[in-house]
């Protein structure tokens, strides 16, 4: 087992203290509305968001950020980060990525292995920017980094579904097996995709996030 793999396992762990578990990215409202109500509908919702949203847009930006870190192109990193932040469809989604980015930067500032001040010029920063800095510095291969990032996103969504629907733990594992089977190809495509060919068009996802802002009873922050 290589040090890079161990670093990746740490970065995708649910114990990473960046607050990911407090967000459902609109899934909670989808449950409230009845659009997601069981294992099958959870699979449809999370699978579509993974395949047509996160993997086609966020993961592509992540891959380009990884390359920019390796190239030492800080101007390009600022540009990519600004574009990604501007893409957030609701106030909740924007607050989410900025809070998680801030928490990631604070965490890295307290670890001996990460260069002090490397992210000082980028605060506030999106979560993909801060996470990609750790992955690039950790020597993690781009495809493995993107695959790990997608896995962490899918795992967090499944954990949210288990709490919100609710689902049993075994159902959650079935969802992860199915979602995980899609990730290798999605990661390959994201790494190879030109930035101008990305797209972020998920109307139901955007509506769910916007509706969640005023949802009366909720357990998640987005």
Judge whether 200 and 57 are in contact, CB under 8 Å.
yes
> Is the pLDDT confidence value at 1 over 80?
no
Please report, in angstroms and rounded to a whole number, the separation of the first and last CA atoms in the chain. Answer: 36
In the block, tokens 């740490």 appear at 10
Please tell me the pTM assigned to this model. 0.97
The mean-pLDDT minimum among 59-68, 74-83, 128-137, 197-206 falls in 197-206
- Distance CA(171)–CA(158), nearest Å, equals 9
Angstrom distance (rounded) from CA 69 to CA 39: 39
pLDDT of 14 above 90: yes
**Range 192-215 average pLDDT:** 92
- The mean pLDDT of 203-214, rounded to a whole number, is 92
Residue ranges of the domains in the chain? Answer: 25-212
CATH 1.10.390.10 fits 25-212, yes or no: no
User: How distant is the alpha carbon of residue 217 from its chain centre?
Assistant: 25
What secondary structure letter does DSSP report for 115?
P
Which tens digit of pLDDT belongs to each residue from 23-53? 999 999 999 999 999 999 999 999 999 999 9
Q: Please, is 170 exposed, middle or buried when counting C-beta atoms within 10 Å of its C-beta (0-12, 13-18, 19+)?
A: exposed
């Amino acid at each position: 087992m290589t040090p890079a793999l161990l670093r990746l396992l740490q970065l995708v762990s649910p114990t990473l203290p960046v607050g990911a578990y407090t967000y459902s990215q609109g899934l909670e409202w989808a449950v409230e509305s009845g659009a997601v109500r069981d294992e099958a509908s959870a699979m449809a919702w999370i699978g579509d968001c993974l395949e047509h949203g996160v993997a086609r847009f966020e993961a592509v930006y992540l891959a380009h950020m990884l390359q920019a870190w390796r190239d030492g192109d800080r101007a390009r990193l600022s540009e990519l980060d600004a574009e990604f932040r501007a893409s957030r469809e609701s106030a909740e989604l924007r607050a989410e990525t900025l809070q998680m980015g801030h928490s990631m930067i604070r965490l890295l500032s307290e670890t001996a292995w990460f260069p002090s001040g490397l992210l000082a010029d980028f605060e506030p920063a999106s979560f993909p920017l801060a996470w990609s800095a750790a992955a690039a510095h950790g020597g993690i291969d781009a495809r493995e980094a993107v695959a790990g990032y997608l896995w962490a996103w899918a795992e967090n969504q499944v954990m949210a579904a288990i709490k919100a629907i609710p689902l049993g733990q075994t159902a959650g594992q079935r969802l992860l097996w199915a979602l995980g089977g899609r990730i290798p190809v999605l990661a390959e495509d994201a790494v190879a995709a030109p930035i101008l060919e990305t797209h972020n068009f998920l109307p139901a996802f955007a509506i769910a996030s916007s509706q969640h802002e005023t949802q009366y009873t909720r357990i998640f922050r987005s």
